[in-house]
Amino acid sequence: MEFRIADTFTDSLTRLTAQEQKAVKTTAFDLQLDPSAPGLSFHKLDRAKDTNFWSVRVNDDIRLIVHRTASSLLLVYVDHHDDAYKWAERRKIERHPTTGAMQLVEIRERIEDIEPVRSSEHLAPEALPKASPKPRLFDNLRKFELMAFGVPEEWIDDVRAATEDSLFDVITHLPQEAQEALLKLAVGEKPEPPAPAPAEADPFAHPDAQRRFRILTNAEDLQRALDAPWDKWAVFLHPAQTALVERSHSGPARVSGSAGTGKTIVALHRAVHLARANPQARVLLTTFSKALANALRSRLGTLAGNEPSVSSRITVKAITAVGYDLYSQRFGQPNIASPALIHNLLSRAAAEVTDHRFSAHFLFGEWSDVVDAWQLKSWESYRDVSRLGRKTRIGGRQREILWTIFERVRAGLDEKKAVTWADVFGRLTDELAAGGKPPFDHAVVDEAQDLGVAEARFLSALAGSKPDGLFFAGDLGQRIFQQPFSWKALGIDVRGRSSTLRINYRTSHEIRLHADRLLPAIVSDVDGNTEGRRGTVSMFDGPPPTVRAFGSPEDERDAVAQWISQRLRDGCQPHEIGVFVRSDGQLKRARSALKATGVRAVELGEKIEAEDGCVALSTMHFAKGLEFKSVVVMACDDEIIPLQERIESVADDADLEEVYETERHLLYVACTRARDRLLVTGVEPVSEFLDDFLKRERS
């Protein structure tokens, strides 16, 4: 007998108490072990439209709803007795007559039309204002066209009557594939309906059915699904995600998508897939920060923790930790030069070289983004480098003077036996190029848009030429740390092997719509690869973001405290709330607001996970990888974002573009951490970006 679990079951399980969940899990394991065991109490639901629905007694009050046939048992829902029965009476599981996918269909209840009540019986009918009816979004589509997208037959009339105002009210009753198609149609996209499955095909094997029903072959699979039921990504994947996880590539590949589209989930599943498909392979799962690597490691435990033969061959580390460990093993522990040392060496060298007017900021940028990043060790290499990402132009004579300065910095590092991170990766790259044994067979990189030149070159040497050797997940619109550079010049060419995810699971339609206004509709990299935000749809609706400007920091503090207090009264838990500011200088304002609420706060940094009972507080740079039901982005004042210090340090007007671009990306990252509610505040005069957030239409 096949034993399956539905995503509606994992959702409903989270709403029970811890003690109730424990009892449900025990019953679920008993069902998987032997559904005919005499201790199990089945009861047929006579009032249910689906004759295969049964209840299973968990205790005096909790009932587990199962779909039971001669060949299969499906866990569908769990709740208190009456609520569980009512839920089952309004659902049925059936094969869609057009697509062939098995669906969990909500039975449409008959709704009587109600005449509107007049606001005043003395008001003449002709004096009543007549609102123009909103156009129907799908009235031009015929029944068979809507059914081709998975719309259940009994919901066709409601879908065709849907307007912009009622769209989300209707689609919440539909299976997810129908929701996605209708949302795309509503924004002007033209999705292709899936090819109908053959009549003899297993309806549970359909890709759309796989996103909600999964076969569990052993107790370990069930344990994983029940231990972290809110993390449905560990069990249920969208068909587009599954295709990206399992696809074979002849070279480096990349998946992109705006915030909340599941890129990290694809990266995790990809790493596990590679380890499973290649039983002897060593897989690296990496990202640019230690905090994000810690989060990936935790999620990997959820996904493959019960498969030691798989998880033991996946190394999860920040890319700098990878470089440090490999360098230590092969050449001895590196003495990493601090930024302060580099600044000191640059300052001393610049003072020794006359006839130049280069600022300290320019010299540090030129060293970091060009000389050190590209590991330029000779005048000839610096003379000929294209300086991609550096917008300030310099002539031949200026380059000669600059190289004289940088030579002295190199000599100073050698004297102190210090190396930069680029030196670390450069030496490892050279060893691999000379025939050294690669420590990994495959590498999966999350948040790839923030990789540096030296790290990308190392990864290229590590596995760039191997089929399925490199897999990148990232979003150019979230690049906040690195200057743009050419991946292709380093041997990483993802053209023809790039895909974009367009279903947003994390952020409401309204929040995503406003956040997207901070970025261009299409973002391009140096190699000409483009990432577009058109066609991305959010799977749920919500209130629009609130943007407020205040006359003083005290007024802002009080308003933020009231907003957070209201969220707590609404049932939001403290750890489901995040507060972000631009940089350390504004943390005091956020602490003051949180103190006024009386709730505890935890400041995030290398620690990326919020604590129960605490509101999370962080600068925008540490917002990556986080999500909260409610988010406050504070202190969005003029001269704070974009940060005036960065603007004043620009050596050339051309570099302003890069400053403004990454500052926009920072605000975008912070705002898209919100799932349901977002408050953005500042003290007048506020950031110019807030006008774009509210008003600017994307071109």
Domain extents for the chain? 2-101+200-227, 248-331+424-501, 339-418, 537-694
Residue 119 has pLDDT above 60, yes or no: no
- Mean of pLDDT values over 562-581: 95
Residue 556 has pLDDT above 90, yes or no: yes
Across 25-39, 210-224, 274-288, 514-528, the highest mean pLDDT is recorded for 274-288
- Mean of pLDDT values over 505-516: 92
Pick the closest to residue 137 from 169, 173, 105 (CA basis). Answer: 169
Please give the pLDDT value at position 280.
94
Local confidence band at 385 (pLDDT 50, 70, 90 cut-offs) = confident
More confident residue, 579 or 125: 579
- Quick one: fold of 248-331+424-501? Rossmann fold (3.40.50)
548-552, long-range: CB < 8 A, 24+ apart:
548/679, 548/680, 548/681, 548/682, 549/681, 549/682, 549/683, 549/684, 549/686, 549/690, 550/681, 550/682, 550/683, 550/684, 551/683, 551/684, 552/683
Residue 192 has pLDDT above 70, yes or no: yes
Please give the pLDDT value at position 123.
41
At 69-116, the pLDDT tens digits run 999 999 999 999 999 999 999 999 999 999 999 999 999 875 444 343
Q: What is the spatial distance between Cα 244 and Cα 236, in angstroms, rounded to a whole number?
A: 14
The residue ranges of DSSP E strands in 126-274, in sequence order, are 213-215, 253-256
Bridging pattern class, strands 530-532 and 614-619: unpaired
DSSP summary character for residue 615: E
Residue 592 has pLDDT above 60, yes or no: yes
Residue 575 has pLDDT above 60, yes or no: yes
Beta-carbon neighbour count of residue 585 at 10 Å?
13
Local confidence band at 375 (pLDDT 50, 70, 90 cut-offs) = very high
Helices (H), 570-636: 587-597
> Bridge-partner residues for 616, per DSSP?
578, 602
Pick the closest to residue 260 from 520, 534, 503 (CA basis). Answer: 503
- Mean of pLDDT values over 508-514: 93
Residue 230 has pLDDT above 70, yes or no: no
Q: If one looks up domain 537-694 in CATH, what number appears? A: 3.40.50.300
- Mean of pLDDT values over 591-608: 86
- Do 537-694 and 2-101+200-227 have the same topology in CATH? no
Please give the pLDDT value at position 392.
58
Q: What is the spatial distance between Cα 196 and Cα 183, in angstroms, rounded to a whole number?
A: 21
Please give the pLDDT value at position 579.
97
Residue 458 has pLDDT above 80, yes or no: yes
| Strands of 283-287's sheet in order across | 314-318, 283-287, 442-446, 470-473, 253-256, 498-500
Computed over every residue of the chain, the mean pLDDT equals 89
Local confidence band at 484 (pLDDT 50, 70, 90 cut-offs) = confident
Local confidence band at 121 (pLDDT 50, 70, 90 cut-offs) = very low
Evaluate whether 665 touches 522 at the Cβ level (below 8 Å): no
Q: Is 540 exposed, middle or buried (0-12, 13-18, 19+ CB in 10 A)?
A: middle
571 backbone φψ class: left, alpha, beta (φ>0; ψ -120 to 50): left
Residue written as token pair 């907003």: 563
At 256-283, the pLDDT tens digits run 999 989 999 999 999 999 999 999 999 9
Angle at the Cα of 75 from the Cα atoms of 271 and 6, rounded to 5 degrees:
45
What's the one-letter identity of residue 549? A
Share of residues in the chain with pLDDT > 70 (%): 92
567 to each of 350, 574, 579, 626, how far by Cα in Å? 54, 9, 13, 19
> Bridge-partner residues for 679, per DSSP?
546, 632
Structure tokens at 210: 């796989």
Please give the pLDDT value at position 128.
46
Cis amide leading into 545 (omega within 30): no
Q: What is the spatial distance between Cα 483 and Cα 389, in angstroms, rounded to a whole number?
A: 6
What is the DSSP annotation of 284-323? EEEES-HHHHHHHHHHHHHHHTT-HHHHTTEEEEEHHHHH
Local confidence band at 523 (pLDDT 50, 70, 90 cut-offs) = confident
- Mean of pLDDT values over 362-376: 91
Task: Report, in angstroms and rounded to the nearest whole number, the Rg of the chain calculated over CA atoms.
Answer: 28
Please give the pLDDT value at position 663.
94
Pick the closest to residue 187 from 516, 514, 697, 538 (CA basis). Answer: 538
Architecture of domain 2-101+200-227 in this structure: 2-Layer Sandwich (3.30)
Which helix (H) or strand (E) covers residue 472, if one does? strand 470-473
Please give the pLDDT value at position 390.
53
SS (H, E, C) 486-533: CCHHHCCCCCCCEEECCEECCCCHHHHHHHHCCCCCEEECCCCCEEEC
Structure tokens at 35: 């559904």
Q: What is the spatial distance between Cα 244 and Cα 255, in angstroms, rounded to a whole number?
A: 8
Structure tokens at 40: 């199990």
SS3 content of the chain, % helix, strand, coil (to 5): 45, 15, 40
| Strands of 546-550's sheet in order across | 546-550, 674-683, 628-633, 577-581, 614-619, 600-603
What's the one-letter identity of residue 209? A
Beta-carbon neighbour count of residue 499 at 10 Å?
16
- Mean of pLDDT values over 281-295: 93
Q: Which of 22-31, 519-528, 685-694 has the lowest mean pLDDT?
A: 519-528
